[in-house]
Structure 1
């Protein structure tokens, strides 16, 4: 069947009528909900181009990319665009996912053809000045699926995945080394026994407001502003929509005055929920020690009780996550001249 592409700027273009059915059929998490794509796009550092792939008029997949133009401004994609730049294919607001996906489980050859069709179509859409692409979060067995003759592989941080096949938390503890196991248990008991500290796990909308999540996220982002290319923090409207939906789980730590001390946000999924973010006040600012590690205890316990296959713990702190039983999955960015 003929492949057709629908290119969308989420800031301006309306949601396609079949978008939500497509997202759910592909098992994609809430960050791909169209209203959240719109909020992400308005706060992004570069215009976002979302493309729906259709065969015979039926939506079969999608690709999200940032248009990193040659000129040092974001531009307004709906009215004009840079004549040249790099197409950066990545998931919106989430480094633990790819920027492309399909319904069902297409064979490698079919996926390769779909991606080739995307490259041809997006090149026609943007013009010949867009001379290269970067595909992020490419797994070790996937470089052959990325279209192109010349490819430059750029290793990135591994993705940590923790399988949770146990009946209870003791199964997880049993696989850890003794010092780590004893430390986690001791700290969890201490937190549970602290009358001035509460820990709640459940739907984010019941436990935290968007404003609280934004404030704690901003506090945590201060630690990383020395990076060469710091990411723009999520906007308040984006976080309000995110935590207000029914696909977000939170682990919230509060003191006796109801002040939010620590927060983990988890993108729910039937099999592999994704740990989206963690933030906590430092002890110097009234926070508590050891909440970071206790958060892993709480989220692992939640995943086991909920019957999940596992947790995607994300990127960064690879040694810590490996010590907690996670598998480190290699990934890379693939740069391809067009």
Structure 2
């Protein structure tokens, strides 16, 4: 798709394809002003589209003075066919953040329900004009309290797995004090095990420095295969990837929620060296990667994007997840952040580690 600009209801809607279109002038300024993380950077979105299954439609809505909203939507065909290329003629829009199941796929400046509803209508009209009437409904994910008010009718909603967030404690000691006696004891023991392990090295830094894109992609594929084979999530913290990297998650409503597949090496290369993407890597003395996490930086709410680890029976360590969690808490405190978004999956475990669970919904609209 070549960039399309549609004027409707006094708004200009620019429709772009990050997989093919050049980065529009001023995009990074819009992204940063909106507080959108590195997964919304143009080269990163492009890598995700080029290594993914479905094309991505990006809509930027503006009035005469300033940008008012951004929507990212995968354009999903009703029937996948091998070798299919281009935009589907029959399908639906799946509004979701690029490469993340934890955050909404939109940003809007207006705060009133009516203004937000007007932006949604303008986005939908422009997308229908560009893609054709065969691309009908819109699937919205990561809807929080109050979001349903600005969705158009009819809507078909259901609860999805909750989002775990960690509100920053006053100190690491305060976080420890808020844990149950058993969990606090386990965390202290984990801290000692890691400190006393002569065959373990922990480093934090940029992707490409502490861990290579190829290693992260391999770890994601390894763990995605294990998730997919089992159909449901194993809730042991040792040896499986964090759910935002792929697989199926069993959640409190009793159903299953599909997530995207493993992030490709192309995507990992796109975030390598970025100052707003942080990695933590665990290795043995031979240099073998035992586990790794990725964090998307943000001034107030960084996002824990992914975690993966080797299974214990392949040489991994059972307690690395819990050591990483403590390090994330410590990092939030040291950097003065409001908190950290911990993503979806393993909600009960994260809650036991001090997280707050935020209810989420998905809805289909026309």
Contact 1:205 1:245 in 2 (8 A): no
Give 1:162 shift: 0.4
Are 2:120 and 1:115 aligned? yes
Displaced runs of 4+ in structure 1, greater than 4 A? none
TM value normalised by structure 1: 0.93
| 1:61 corresponding residue in structure 2 | 69
Does 1:192 pair with 2:221? no
Verify the 8 A CA contact 1:65 1:87 in the aligned structure 2: yes
Give the alignment's TM-score, normalised by structure 2.
0.86
Q: Do 2:96 and 2:140's aligned partners in 1 also have CA atoms closer than 8 Å?
A: yes
SS of equivalent residue, structure 1 residue 211:
helix
* Corresponding residue number in structure 2 for 1:150: 154
State the match for 1:161 in structure 2: 165
2:278: which partner in 1?
Answer: 249
* Superposition RMSD in Å: 1.7
The whole-number CA distance in structure 1 between the counterparts of 2:88 and 2:209 is: 43
> Separation in 1 of the partners of 2:99 and 2:63?
28
Report the equivalent of 1:76.
Answer: 85
CA–CA distance in structure 2, aligned partners of residues 110 and 230 of structure 1: 31
Conserved 8 A contact 1:154-1:335: no
Deviates more, 1:65-74 or 1:303-312: 65-74
Question: Following TM superposition, by how much is the alpha carbon of 1:70 offset from its aligned partner in structure 2, in angstroms?
Answer: 3.1
2:33 aligned residue = 25
Give 3-state SS (helix, strand or coil) of 1:225's partner. helix
2:343 to 305, 310, 314: 314
Distance in 2 between residues matched to 1:175 and 1:271, nearest whole Å: 22
1:22–1:61 CA contact under 8 A, matched in 2: no
Structure 1 residue 224, shift from structure 2 partner: 1.4
**Corresponding residue SS for 2:153:** coil
Structure 1 residue 247: deviation in Å? 0.7
Deviation (angstroms), 1:57: 6.3
Q: 1:57 to 1:39 in 2, by over 3 A?
A: farther
* 2:217 aligned counterpart, secondary structure: helix
What do the CA deviations read for 1:117-163 (whole angstroms, capped 9, x no partner)? 111221222222222111111112211111x2211112111000000
